[in-house]
């Protein structure tokens, strides 16, 4: 797969989410919400990657829309963590 800017940025974001997840679990002992953040934050890039193998334009757009919705969920969890831990 040819890596485009969106795919590259989503992978970099996923790495940052994994690091934040580790910090929240190990240092803050937060286990439930951090898992939700991990799932939604890493799902963005996974859906973008999956869109590259779409069998139709409709499938392609569907995968990108799922990535968009996962980004909205991730933003929600990040907002919660900012209010709770900072």
Confidence of residue 20 (pLDDT cuts 50, 70, 90): very high
Give pLDDT, residue 2.
65
Does the domain at residues 5-85 carry the CATH identifier 3.40.50.1950? no
Give the pLDDT confidence of 46-73 residue by residue, as tens digits.
Answer: 999 999 999 999 999 999 999 999 999 9
State the pLDDT at residue 79: 97
Among 83, 81, 72, smallest CA distance to 35 is for 81
Evaluate if residue 4 carries a pLDDT over 60: yes
- Give the pLDDT of residue 85: 78
Residues 26-38: what's their mean pLDDT? 95
User: How many angstroms separate the CA atoms of 34 and 5, rounded?
Assistant: 27
């Amino acid at each position: 797969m040819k890596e485009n800017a969106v795919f590259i940025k989503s992978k970099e974001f996923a790495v940052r989410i994994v690091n934040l997840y580790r910090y929240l679990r190990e240092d803050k002992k937060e286990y439930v919400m951090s898992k939700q953040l991990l799932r939604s934050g890493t799902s963005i890039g996974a859906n973008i990657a999956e869109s590259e193998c779409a069998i139709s334009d409709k499938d392609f757009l569907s995968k990108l829309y799922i990535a968009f919705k996962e980004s909205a969920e991730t933003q929600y969890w990040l907002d919660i963590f900012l209010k709770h831990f900072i």
